[in-house]
Amino acid sequence: MERTMVAARLHALGTPMTLDTIPIPKPRPTDVLVRVKACGIVPNMANVINNWPTWFPHQPLAKFPAIFGLDPAGVVEEVGEAVISVKPGDRVYVSPLRSCGSCKACRGGRRSECRYYTLNGYFSTSRDGQRIFDLYPYGGFSEYMTAPEYAIVNLSDNITFEQAGRFGYMGTSYGALKHAGAGPGQVAIIDGVTGTLGVAATVLCLAMGVSRILGTGRDERLLERVKALAPNRIEVMRLGEESVGEWAKSLTGGEGADFVVSALGAKAPAATMLDSMKGVRRGGKVVNVGGVAEDLPIDVKWLMDEQIHLIGSNWFTTEQGQEMADMVKTGTLDLSYLEHRTFPLSRVNEAISGLKDRDGGFSNYVVIP
């Protein structure tokens, strides 16, 4: 008899997901089958399932009925015959980044540059993304899912599945920090420091040895919570009180920060981003990983004179996901700041719509299938 599982599926835009009983998939030769134990919900998920096809028609969703769920973690149940390293019983995070595997970028290990770049259980960046969704139709709002071996991050016993359910946005911040060349002795500006990406970038900077973190945000109470993570290394400023660029220069003896991570929200004006950029030193890096959606009017002569690097970054490699897991294993990266709000799969709709009540980047909404 065919074994079945329960999955939350979206049958039409703007309707609640329903719990459907469907067959448990068999992993293909290079895939693994994971029993999902937790799946994180990112703040943007509500936008994806309600508004994405209207807002960003060039980033298609999977055909309906579709199983969403971006950040699954669980236990490997079964592996395909060509899987080499992953074993049944392994505790894992499944990175949702899927790509063709055969283009130049993929062969170079740069899967996020692939034309087929698709985030499993979320959306594709390719008009041909349905091909990838057909291969991997199972998101994390499901009891079981298949995933390619290349997407698997091994978790040590001291990482909970709820914590691993946050690896997506945490890894997004980590990927940005790798682009920035973050490391010991440096000064960082993190714009939008109180949000999901911003708080993650802060704890990652602390783990990576960054000396000083200059964070900006709007919510005074959340800014104080961020500062309390490491009061001797973190300074915070309320956006709008003064120029971020001038503030950063004044705190660094006129030198400027080594890099800016721009993790501002979608409603933030480009002028805010531009102001923070002016806080970097000569040769400094500006990495955009946030939601600013306006054109940036930029003085390219300043860019040339001061040799400023402006870099777009999104998601992260499985290798970088593994590095984060390894930092948690050794205790370098402390995820104890996360406050988990867990929901059974039957309350997935409520969980997604409830994210607007979160405590900035400290809340972690997780569905338990």
Q: Which stretch binds Zn ion (CB under 5 A): 54-62, 94-102, 320-328, 350-358?
A: 94-102
Q: Which is nearer to Zn ion, 115 or 309 (CB)?
A: 115
Helix (H) or strand (E) holding 211: none
229 makes contact with Zn ion (CB under 5 A): no
* Residue 147 CB, nearest approach to Zn ion (Å): 17
Q: Which is nearer to Zn ion, 86 or 114 (CB)?
A: 114
Three-class SS state of 36: strand
Q: Which is nearer to Zn ion, 110 or 282 (CB)?
A: 110
* Residue 59 CB, nearest approach to Zn ion (Å): 17
Q: Which is nearer to Zn ion, 144 or 316 (CB)?
A: 316
Q: Which is nearer to Zn ion, 109 or 344 (CB)?
A: 109
Q: Which stretch binds Zn ion (CB under 5 A): 111-119, 185-193, 217-225, 292-300?
A: 111-119
Q: How is residue 215 written in tokens? A: 């964070």
User: Considering CB under 5 A, how many residues would be counted as binding Zn ion?
Assistant: 5
Residue pointed to by tokens 């405590």: 359
In the set 103, 206, 310, 368, which binds Zn ion (CB under 5 A)? 103
In the set 100, 188, 263, 328, which binds Zn ion (CB under 5 A)? 100
CB 179 within 8 A of CB 287: yes
At residue 72, what are phi and psi to the nearest 5 degrees?
A: -90, 145
* Residue 304 CB, nearest approach to Zn ion (Å): 33
Measured at the alpha carbon of residue 361, what is the angle toward residues 194 and 68, in degrees to the nearest 5?
Answer: 140
* Nearest residue relative to Zn ion (C-beta): 114
- E-assigned strands of 140-274? 144-148, 152-154, 187-191, 212-217, 234-238, 257-262
Q: Which stretch binds Zn ion (CB under 5 A): 15-23, 96-104, 160-168, 339-347?
A: 96-104
Q: Which of 173, 188, 170, 175 has the alpha carbon at shortest distance from 285?
A: 188
In the set 106, 176, 207, 289, which binds Zn ion (CB under 5 A)? 106
* Residue 114 CB, nearest approach to Zn ion (Å): 3
* Residue 191 CB, nearest approach to Zn ion (Å): 32
Three-class SS state of 33: strand
124 makes contact with Zn ion (CB under 5 A): no
Q: Which is nearer to Zn ion, 99 or 194 (CB)?
A: 99
Q: At what angle do helices 244-251 and 270-277 cross, to 10 degrees?
A: 20
CB 175 within 8 A of CB 201: no
* Residue 101 CB, nearest approach to Zn ion (Å): 6
99 makes contact with Zn ion (CB under 5 A): yes
* Residue 104 CB, nearest approach to Zn ion (Å): 8
Q: Which residues pair with 152 in a beta bridge?
A: 94
Q: Which stretch binds Zn ion (CB under 5 A): 82-90, 109-117, 185-193, 196-204?
A: 109-117
In the set 22, 92, 94, 114, which binds Zn ion (CB under 5 A)? 114
Residue pointed to by tokens 């080499």: 84
Q: Which of 359, 363, 325, 328 has the alpha carbon at shortest distance from 343?
A: 363
Three-class SS state of 13: coil
Taking CB under 5 A as the criterion, which residues in 245-274 touch Zn ion? none
CA 112, CA 124: separation in Å to the nearest integer? 11
* Residue 14 CB, nearest approach to Zn ion (Å): 32
Q: How is residue 17 written in tokens? A: 């997901």
* Residue 179 CB, nearest approach to Zn ion (Å): 20
Q: Which is nearer to Zn ion, 100 or 351 (CB)?
A: 100
CA 352, CA 69: separation in Å to the nearest integer? 10
Question: DSSP string spanning 331-360?
Answer: TSS--TT-EEEEEEGGGHHHHHHGGGGS-G
Q: Residues in the chain, how many?
A: 369
Residues that bind Zn ion (CB under 5 A): 99-100, 103, 106, 114
